Amino acid sequence: MATNEILEGLIKDPDRLKDLADEAKELALQHGALLRIFENPNSSEVITYTPFTLFPSPVPKAKFLQALALQIHYNLLVDRISQDPGFLEEALASTIQADDFTANLFRLYREVQQEGRTKSIVMGLNRSDYMLDQREDGTCSLKQTEINTIAVGGICISGNLPVVHRRILQMLGLLEESQCVPENNCIAGMTRALARAWELYGQQEAVVMFLVEDVQLHKLGQRCIEHQLWRRDGLEVAVVFYCHGFMPENYKEQSWDVRLLMERSLAVKCPDISTHLAGTKKVQQELARPGVLERFFPDQPQVVEQIRATFAGLYSLDMGPEGDQTVAMALANPEKFVLKPQREGGGNNVYGEDIVRVLEEVKGDKRRAAYILMDKIRPKTEQNILLKTGQPLKLTSVCYEIGAFGAYVRQGKDMVMNECVGHLLRTKNSEQFEGGITARVSALDNPLLV
């Protein structure tokens, strides 16, 4: 790769590297890759750039397009799971015995389910994340790390970076490469979905309500969506858009009542509670069982095959012989697996010797059903320079994760919109187990399609 030689040249010439990095940071600021600062997340007095990579990462074009093409099928899968109470009941039965947060979500789900309120309009916005797993024969395959169905991050910022990376490549004379950084306009697609749901709700005076947290690091991005939507007065809510509410810490006791109120309301929820539950790690693991995808795509064996090809090994830790076998397998080779609780937002998964410690503690009782076990994906590493506020410029071994954004709107049985609306490439130091831009680990990146 031409960029590799350039990287090595830059590392030997710190003045030139600093000039280029400064230029990149200024370009990022000019093009709106902005973040409020962690020290003062509720103020726009001082802002900074979103952490990002100096260079785009080379990503095999075929794998990238595979992830984007799959997204409409993943949208359907999530939506179909959300409409299948029997499946959700069964899949989550042991998890809700062991995990309070999932149990609380499930309690609300059952309550609205029993009230029989049919919601004719449903809107989903999700992000399916993948890494390229390196096989021993030198080939690689796209493997899903997880799918997020609530408060999906990265939509607002990912579209700002292509122009920055293209410009950096052009400045270094890499004109051909600069044309291999694809366009990415997630905000347009997801705004279209919100607007469609609002239109179908059919009340001119009704609004789209953004549910946000009180620490608003990402407010500037969320406002971009708001600016693209129609501005209306009035208080009737047509669409509730969750930018928050995905982790236990987001809820006080009273918040559960508020969530129930919203769930019962006529408003379109993005996501509704069943769609939220469809995004749990337990559901991801249950989908990997033989025959389960067929339940959701009964007449489409090719779709089943395409989705299944992206599944890494996923194993149940429910009580019983199957779960016992999973425990034994993990204890024998902990470095080959990731142990995952039902949490979102990064920093919750367990790796290496910690797997042994946690499993030794919970393996004898139902607490272990709060987790699932997954094969550890071994992504290829590349060299890059991560630009993060206050951090020195150095050559770093990095790996990336591809996210595909899906947006859909369903009215009754009709899918009135089902699209892949863009992508997110996040790159982290390959020595880090976990990713996440808010967690200050990953940096925003672009694929350089090769």
End-to-end Cα separation, the chain, in angstroms: 9
Question: Nearer Cβ to Mg ion, position 274 or 384?
Answer: 274
Count interface residues toward ligand ADP (CB under 6 A).
Answer: 18
How, if at all, do strands 337-341 and 350-351 pair? antiparallel
Determine the interface stretch with ligand ADP among 19-27, 70-78, 172-180, 338-346 (rule: CB under 6 A): 338-346
Q: CB 198 → ligand ADP: shortest distance, Å?
A: 28
Pull the structure tokens for residue 236. 């009737």
Q: CB 340 → ligand ADP: shortest distance, Å?
A: 6
Q: Which residues, numbered 114-153, are part of the site for Mg ion (CB under 5 A)?
A: 148
Beta strands in 225-292 (DSSP E): 237-242, 268-270
Bridge partners of 127?
148, 405
Give the CA radius of gyration of the chain: 22
Tokens 């009542």 belong to: 257
Residue 348 interacting with ligand ADP (CB under 6 A) = yes
Q: Cα separation of 275 and 269, whole Å?
A: 10
Question: Nearer Cβ to Mg ion, position 344 or 382?
Answer: 344
434 interface partner picked from Mg ion, ligand ADP, none, CB below 5 to 8 A per type: ligand ADP
Residue 272 interacting with Mg ion (CB under 5 A) = no
Residue 128 interacting with ligand ADP (CB under 6 A) = no
The count of C-alpha atoms lying within 13 angstroms of the C-alpha of 27, restricted to the half-sphere facing its C-beta, is 21
What's the full length of the chain, in residues? 450
* CB-based contacts of 170, cutoff 8 Å, min separation 6: 178
Whole-number Cα distances in Å, 422 to 305, 348, 369, 379, 396: 23, 27, 34, 22, 27
- Find out whether 284 and 307 touch, Cβ atoms under 8 Å: no
Residue 401 interacting with ligand ADP (CB under 6 A) = yes
- Find out whether 55 and 248 touch, Cβ atoms under 8 Å: no
The type of residue at 251 is Y
Q: CB 283 → ligand ADP: shortest distance, Å?
A: 13
Question: Nearer Cβ to ligand ADP, position 121 or 278?
Answer: 278
Q: CB 128 → Mg ion: shortest distance, Å?
A: 10
Q: CB 127 → Mg ion: shortest distance, Å?
A: 8
Query: Smallest Cα–Cα separation from 144: which of 317, 407, 437, 403?
Result: 403
Residue 435 interacting with ligand ADP (CB under 6 A) = yes
- Find out whether 158 and 142 touch, Cβ atoms under 8 Å: no
Question: Nearer Cβ to ligand ADP, position 323 or 435?
Answer: 435
Tell me the residue number closest to ligand ADP, measured at CB.
435
Question: Nearer Cβ to ligand ADP, position 279 or 323?
Answer: 279
Q: Which of 344, 382, 401, 445 binds Mg ion (CB under 5 A)?
A: 344
Q: CB 385 → Mg ion: shortest distance, Å?
A: 27
Question: Nearer Cβ to ligand ADP, position 41 or 345?
Answer: 345
Q: Which of 84, 199, 213, 434 binds ligand ADP (CB under 6 A)?
A: 434
Pull the structure tokens for residue 19. 């000039």
Question: Nearer Cβ to Mg ion, position 211 or 415?
Answer: 211
Beta strands in 78-173 (DSSP E): 121-134, 140-148
Q: Cα separation of 121 and 101, whole Å?
A: 26
Residue 338 interacting with ligand ADP (CB under 6 A) = yes
Residue 346 interacting with ligand ADP (CB under 6 A) = yes
**What residues make contact with Mg ion under the rule CB under 5 A?**
148, 344
**What residues make contact with ligand ADP under the rule CB under 6 A?**
129, 145-146, 312, 338, 340, 343-346, 348-349, 374, 376-377, 401, 434-435
